[in-house]
Chains A and B, each alone.
Chain A
C-alpha cells in the first residue's frame, strides 16, 4: 500500500513540475518558431525605425557590400531578383530593406561561420525605390544601396 502511495506522489510531482515549467514559459510547444521572428522590425514603416529595430542606428556606408545579378530596372515588381555579397570580415547577418515598400524590411539572413556571405533571393517591390543591404559584422553595421526602377508594382490591389 505504502509503495503505491509513494509512487503516485512521485508521478504527481512530476506532472506538477511540467505544468509549472509550461506556465513559467520554459515549455511552449508550437510557439518556439514564431519567437525567432523579429515582429517589431518587420512592422516598421520608415528607414530610421527599421535600422533602430534591427539595432543598426546609423550604419556606415560601405563599398564592400556588392549587389550582383540585381536589375537596374525590374519589369515586374512582384519578382525582383536580389543578390548581395558582403566582403566585410566577420559578417554575421545581411538584411534587405526596401525604402518605399509598405513595410521596409523584406528579409534578414543570419550567417553562421562557414557560410558564404553572399546570397540571392527574390523580393517584391511596390514601386521604384532604393534597396538597402544592411550588413552586421563584428557587431557593427554597414550599408549599401541601389536604386531599382519598377515598371509594374508587386503589391497592387
Chain B
C-alpha cells in the first residue's frame, strides 16, 4: 500500500483551494537499471477529487507527471469543516484514497 497523500484545503474568498502532494514513484518505463534492464513503467493514471460526493476535478496522467506528483487547483464553494476526498489509481491497479477537512 502506498504512503498517504498530503492534502491541504483552504477557503480562499468564495472558493476552496486544494493542494495535494502524492507519494508515488511515477516510473516512466524509459529508464534502465544498473544491469541495463528497462525499469517497467509504474505511474498514476487517474486522479479524482470530490467534495460532498460531487466531482470537482478528474485527471488522467501519463508517466510524464513528476515523481511524487503535486497538484493545485480551486473550486467554487466549500465551507470550513467540509471534506475533500482524493483518489488515485495507478497502472498496476493499486489505488489510494485520502481525505482532508477544509480549513
Contact = CB atoms under 8 A, between A and B. Distances in A.
A115 B57 contact: yes
Contacts of A114: 54, 56, 75-77
A141 B45 CA distance: 23
Nearest to A155: B30
Task: Please report whether the interface of chain B is mostly helix, strand, loop or mixed according to DSSP.
Answer: strand
A116 B17 CA distance: 10
Interface in A79-127: 79-81, 98, 101-103, 105-112, 114-116, 118-126
Interface residues of B, number: 35
A37 B45 CA distance: 7
Given A33-B93, A122-B70, A157-B32, A107 B61 contact: yes
B10 interface: no
Interface of A: 30, 33-34, 36-38, 42, 78-81, 98, 101-103, 105-112, 114-116, 118-126, 154-157
